[in-house]
Amino acid sequence: VWVKHENHQPVGAFKVRGGLNYVAQLSAKERQAGLFTASTGNHGQSIAYASQVNGLKATIAVPEGANPDKVAAMQGLGAHLVFHGPDFDAAREWVMAEAEAQQGCFVGPTEARLIAGVGTYALEIVEDLPEVETIIVPVGAGSGACGVSIVAKTINPNIEVIAVQSAQAPAMQLSWQSGKLVRAPMATFAEGIATRVPFENTQRIMRHYLDDFVLVDDRAIKEAILLLLSHTHNLAEGAGAAALAAALQLKARLAGRKVVLVLSGGNLALDNLRTMLAE
């Protein structure tokens, strides 16, 4: 088993690759109006970081009660934050209207240029470990799973790509499995994979490329966080530990295979860790 450490990126998550690629491809006119997005944290940090690096304004809607580490990080990167609604989808609806009113670019979390950017980490996996047989990747909006599966399957169609989501927020998995867009209850602690409303464009790509899409319980994700911390001394957020939780669940099936776990991000709030360690 190998771990792809996206937790050591600037902003602490793979998403930074998407934001940088997105801004790099904007025209001067598009840059002027600034970027608008909604985020539970990592996508927003990516947009805030890319905006700061390139001198753009960034307006980010975050759900009330968002991970305070990620909120502080987005503010530290100079973004204008607006708290709106109880979850990602509510914040997104509000900021889309705001972007239209201000004639700015709304950057949805599944934009093609974001997927292309994050796909670069899959290229690094296949270049560094050409013999990889299975890659397990967590799904929030799906940009990571799409980037990984497009890149890996294009280079070597025999590479198996398995997506993972929390059983406490299965909208993307249920949609993938049924072939329809299915909303589902969202109660996971892992905000990076907490999707209530599925995304059509990433679903389309995932239906074409993914070999499997599994659900793991939040409890298993928390155990995986503690395993990664004690054995590798890396702090993973919930989404970042989901691939390890999936690998443990699929242990028999993966036996003997060369498996890469995508540790997508490390932005776990200390209070969450304190609670997990006390449980």
Query: How far apart, in Å, are the Cα atoms of 171 and each of 3, 157, 167?
Result: 26, 27, 9
Q: How far is CA 257 from its chain centroid? A: 25
For the sheet with 35-38, list strands across it: 80-83, 58-62, 35-38, 105-106
Question: Considering beta carbons, is residue 21 or 272 the nearer one to a second copy?
Answer: 272
> Under the criterion CB under 8 A, does residue 24 sit at the interface with a second copy?
no
Name residues contacting a second copy, limited to 64-93 (CB under 8 A).
69
Question: Considering beta carbons, is residue 32 or 275 the nearer one to a second copy?
Answer: 275
Stretch that binds a second copy, among 4-12, 48-56, 103-111, 160-168 (CB under 8 A): 4-12
Is 15 catalytic? The answer is: yes
For residue 108, give both structure tokens. 């949805």
* Least CB distance to a second copy at residue 24 (A): 25
> Under the criterion CB under 8 A, does residue 10 sit at the interface with a second copy?
no
Stretch that binds a second copy, among 32-40, 87-95, 144-152, 266-274 (CB under 8 A): 266-274
Question: Considering beta carbons, is residue 1 or 270 the nearer one to a second copy?
Answer: 270
Stretch that binds a second copy, among 57-65, 195-203, 213-221, 231-239 (CB under 8 A): 231-239
Q: Is the Cβ–Cβ distance between 36 and 98 less than 8 Å?
A: yes
Q: Map residue 63 onto helix, strand or coil.
A: coil
Exactly one of 200, 230, 252, 256 binds a second copy (CB under 8 A); that residue is 230
Question: Considering beta carbons, is residue 9 or 37 the nearer one to a second copy?
Answer: 9
Q: Is 168 exposed, middle or buried (0-12, 13-18, 19+ CB in 10 A)?
A: buried
Q: Is the Cβ–Cβ distance between 48 and 82 less than 8 Å?
A: no
Catalytic residue among 15, 70, 153, 222: 15
Q: Which residues of the shown chain bind a second copy in the complex (CB under 8 A)?
A: 7-8, 12, 69, 226, 229-230, 233-235, 266-270, 273-274, 277-278
Which residues carry out catalysis?
A: 15, 264
